Amino acid sequence: MWEKKRIIVISLIVLIVISVSLTLIPKNTNKSTRDNIVNHEMASNTKSVENSTEDDEIALDNGATENKVDNKSSSQKIITNLFISMETKEFDNSINHLNNIVNKYKGYIENSDISYNNHVNNNIYKYAQYTIRMPKNSVDKFTNEINKIGNIISQSTSKEDITKEYYDTESKLNVLKIKEERILKILESAEKIEDILKLEDELNKVIYEKESITNEMKDMDNKISYSTLIINITEVDKFSNIETTKTSFGEKIINTFNNSLYFLKLTMENIIIIVIYILPFALIIGLVYLIINKFIRKK
């Protein structure tokens, strides 16, 4: 009898222990799970706050890169320079005509240098060099019309592609603008003087860099929108004969004959000039010779 009671008591104790265990385990598990979730959320929020600035900068860089790629596909940025050398028999008229053409096509003269003391074959000729800025859409019309003011002896064109540099600079400018806006927004809510001073110092750096890049962009825009033409104009009394593969044999003979006559003319002119130049000396020498000769005869 006692054995049966003992077995029943032990069985009840075992059942109670199992029941209590089953009751406590889920609670502890739920609590542990909830704690893990809370801790994870807190860690995520902390990490998010710490990395917010870094994420913003990455987003700005990605946005700038996408903007740069989109803009690159839209248009190329080309700087065009032209070099023209020409001759004229009527220097002053050619210069006036050049100024009129520049004004006609809305260009402007950036620099000019005129020399009135260019010696060639004992003659004094005029020479001019002009640096002209011309809207790129008017360059072809300008160069076609400039043929009227003289004989072009050489012409060359150079182009520089600054597309990548242009859009890289533009992206930097956009990033600085956004950065400036964010600093201003943070500055509005800043309360500590130390924080305000740091923000103002950073803001001044951003504004300075933004203005520098803005000026750089304006300079590039000007070079792209306005082509640069360097024009050399030389006064001559005879145009140069420029022969090409298309020049016929007859034209070569005519050019050679004309050149021969021209140099014969120059030679005769130079001889006459030399004779006139030495004539006073010859007269003096002759007079001295006559005096000496007369004196010798008297003796």
Model-level pTM? 0.59
Report whether 150 contacts 143 (CB < 8 A).
no
User: What residue spans define the domains of the chain?
Assistant: 1-50, 56-240, 248-299
Q: Which residues have CB under 8 Å from 243's CB, separation 6+? A: 251, 252, 255
pLDDT in tens, the chain (299 residues): 555 555 555 655 655 555 545 444 444 444 444 344 334 433 333 333 334 344 444 444 554 454 544 544 458 999 999 999 999 999 999 999 999 999 999 999 999 999 886 665 556 789 999 999 999 999 999 999 998 898 999 999 999 999 999 999 999 999 999 999 999 998 888 888 888 898 889 999 999 999 999 999 999 999 999 999 999 999 988 777 665 566 676 766 776 766 676 666 667 767 777 778 788 887 888 888 788 877 777 76
E strands, 139-236, where? Answer: 151-161, 226-235
How is residue 51 written in tokens? Answer: 């990395």
Q: What pLDDT sits at residue 12?
A: 55
